[in-house]
């Protein structure tokens, strides 16, 4: 039988898992698989310097969001920023290739439960 986990531990696990997701996504875009970002951007006609800026800025933004979440500074605002970034990324990817919604690995559909998790973290935080 599984023992119940306290709300505090669940909240901590939610924050750490979200931070890990953001940080790892940023590191992946920078070091492990930058070519994937360039391929997606090229599908949308974004190449050259514009693609470089998009890949590096997006990766750095992801890492900063993950680190910000771990600091505990203004967590409610951090959650709002996370939701906004996911929404912008989702809209941009939808315009580049709406097929991402039907992709078997769910690169866009996974954003829905992630956004719910962020909302749960927001709900557990004091508003600014």
What is residue 128's predicted lDDT score, i.e. its pLDDT? 61
CA angle 17, 18, 19 (to 5 degrees): 90
Check if the beta carbon of residue 65 is closer than 8 Å to that of residue 81: yes
pLDDT tens column, 24-58: 999 999 999 999 999 999 999 999 999 999 999 99
Residue owning tokens 């992630």: 114
Q: What is the pLDDT of residue 125?
A: 81
34-43 and 48-71 are packed helices; what angle lies between their axes, rounded to 10 degrees? 120
Phi-psi region of 119 (alpha: psi -120 to 50; beta: other; left: phi over 0): alpha
């Amino acid at each position: 039988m599984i023992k119940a986990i306290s709300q505090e531990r669940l909240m901590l696990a939610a924050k750490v898992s979200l931070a890990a997701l953001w940080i790892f996504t940023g590191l992946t875009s920078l070091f492990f698989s930058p070519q994937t970002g360039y391929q997606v951007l090229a599908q949308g006609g974004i190449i050259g310097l514009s693609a470089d800026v998009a890949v590096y800025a997006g990766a750095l933004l992801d890492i900063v969001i993950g680190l910000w979440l771990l600091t505990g500074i203004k967590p409610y605002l951090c959650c709002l920023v996370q939701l906004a970034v996911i929404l912008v990324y989702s809209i941009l990817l939808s315009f580049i290739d709406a097929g991402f919604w039907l992709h078997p690995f769910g690169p866009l559909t996974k954003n829905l439960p992630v956004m719910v998790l962020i909302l749960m973290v927001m709900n557990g935080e004091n508003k600014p």
